[in-house]
Amino acid sequence: MSTEGTRRESGARTSTEAGTTTGTEAGRAERLRRWRLLLGGESADGTGCTLTGDEARMDAALERLYGSGGRKGSGRRSAGLGDSAPSVARWLGDIRAYFPSTVVQVMQKDAIERLDLTRLLMEPEMLDAVEPDVHLVGTLLSLNKVMPDRARESARAVVRKVVGELERRLAQRTRSAIGGALDRSARVLRPRRLADVDWQRTIRANLRHYLPEHGTLVPERLIGYGRRQQAVKRDVVLCIDQSGSMAASVVYASVFGAVLASMRSLRTSLVVFDTAVVDLTDQLHDPVEVLFGTQLGGGTDINRAIAYCQGLVARPDDTIMVLISDLYEGGVRAEMLQRVGALTAAGVQVVVLLALSDEGAPSYDHENAAALAALGVPAFACTPDAFPDLMAAAVERRDLKEWSERNL
């Protein structure tokens, strides 16, 4: 959200709270008040409107971040946030008091980017004041190696809170969607219950037994879903690019990896990479440990990561490999494409997610994406809410290019 967008949302919010005004003068005053909140700072002087109470404090909080003193390289001065932890902590408390959580998260992200607050985020009192969200987790993980011990436990608490919220939001839907797909992907010829009959496959298999004089079909054999099998049905390999631009994707992928690992019908592996490759499969029981095992930033060697993942494939026809990367390759591109081609030829279902986040269209290497598409490997961005259905489609071996065009 832009500076103007943040101003606009806050102005709309207070307008709603004020209720509907009547009369020409009252209507004009209300419009001026809204413009005053929208414009902010010196730009709003021409409205002739003075804010009081909570509205004045909201305006001050916005001005401290988005005013001239909140811009790097600005020669002008205004209040700004200052460079002390107590000052910033007070400001964080103000915005949490006056704005909804979604706006607070946007303002925190802007403050980190515009005012270089990463150093202050290593202070425990700062971490206690922030509104935890995915972007903040990404920032904390990037500071993991330089964070002092006294701030580390506070950082872990922030990360654990965000991970817990994501798990509560996504886990049940993931297990339901993928569990149902696993059931549907297994077929039996003698279903015991009517609810287990796969009617579409049954009808197709018995079309020769259609009786036109009766306008009906008599099935010679029933085809049903195979359910409640405890054996591992699919192997899932999550291969995650941990370069700095993929921070949100790393957070979501770690949570999903833990959820998938909890399903007995799946054998889940999780690999993260930059120019080196780290296998974090043994930490999937705790996504917080997974996240602190990553090291955001650095270069990217997709070829090396895929080479490692090839060694994890024992059952190609039953393996789904999800590469989460913006495809900016720093390794050997030709070998990377050759390896992906070999995996798909062997029967592995390879999916490339350019982003696993709510941030919209990512920046990615279009040439590599096109080359992968030519190999039959779809590459697209996916939101966390759509990921369970994507994995369900992959389990059922549906056309994922068609699925993405229809759902994303």
Architecture of domain 230-407: 3-Layer(aba) Sandwich (3.40)
399 or 21, greater pLDDT: 399
Q: Is the pTM of this model over 0.85?
A: no
Over residues 249-269, mean pLDDT: 93
> Is the distance from CB of 196 to CB of 225 less than 8 angstroms?
yes
Residues in the chain: 408
Split at pLDDT 50, 70, 90, the class of 79 is very low
Which range, 33-37, 85-89, 302-306, 356-360, is most confident?
302-306
The domain segmentation of the chain, as residue ranges, is 3-131, 187-225, 230-407
**Model pLDDT, residue 249:** 93
**Model pLDDT, residue 356:** 94
**Model pLDDT, residue 18:** 41
**Model pLDDT, residue 71:** 45
pLDDT in tens, 168-202: 999 998 998 998 887 666 555 556 677 767 777 77
Whether the predicted pLDDT of 227 surpasses 70: no
Whether the predicted pLDDT of 84 surpasses 60: no
Whether the predicted pLDDT of 327 surpasses 50: yes
Inter-residue long-range contacts of 383-389, CB under 8 Å, 24+ positions, other chains counted: 383/356, 383/357, 383/358, 383/408, 384/166, 384/170, 384/252, 384/256, 384/356, 384/357, 384/358, 385/170, 387/170, 387/174, 387/252, 387/256, 387/356, 388/170, 388/173, 388/174, 388/176, 388/177, 388/178, 389/177
1 or 126, greater pLDDT: 126
